[in-house]
Structure formats: C-alpha cells, structure tokens
Amino acid sequence: MDDVQKALRDKFSEIHPLVFHRCMEKARTNGELFDLLDGMPSPPFMWDEKTRAWVHVNDVLQKDAIHIAVEKGIEYEKQKNKKEEKDD
C-alpha cells in the first residue's frame, strides 16, 4: 500500500476494510480508487463489471436472476415465433 492509498484509507475509514481492499483490486490507478471510494453507494451494493463501479441493489441475491430470466424469456419468444413461422 503506497502513501496515497494509506491516505485514502484514513479519509474513507468508515468503509469496511474488506470493501476497501476490493476497491484496491478493482482500481487501475489511485485516481480510480478515489472515484470508487467517493462514489460508494449505500448498502446493499455489488460490483457491476459493465460500469466498473459499485451499484446499489434492492435484492442482492436476485439482481442477476432477473436479467437472466428476462433474457431467457426473450429468447423463448424468438424461438416460439420462428417455429410458428415455419409451421405456416
């Protein structure tokens, strides 16, 4: 941990040490580390790889399940429509 990271650890002392270290793992630079710590949402939150940021979620256990269910539902409708077109 360099001097900048130690200073950020002191500045953001209210953030749990494990979350702080996850931010250090995710950040590419000290500037990005500051942005992650400064933009920390209220719990519950989880890491979003697309935006490369912590995002607030209402239900941690079902965040990805909803997206998967929607995608599967869309895929099912597409396959169903293709089958109906072939039958006609």
| pLDDT tens digits, one per residue of 62-72 | 655 555 555 55
56 phi-psi bin (left φ>0, alpha ψ -120 to 50, beta other): beta
Q: Is residue 59 predicted with pLDDT exceeding 60?
A: yes
Distance CA 37, CA 84 (A): 52
Q: Is residue 23 predicted with pLDDT exceeding 70?
A: yes
- 5-22: per-residue pLDDT in tens? 999 999 999 999 999 999
Residue 65 tokens, joined: 């399940």
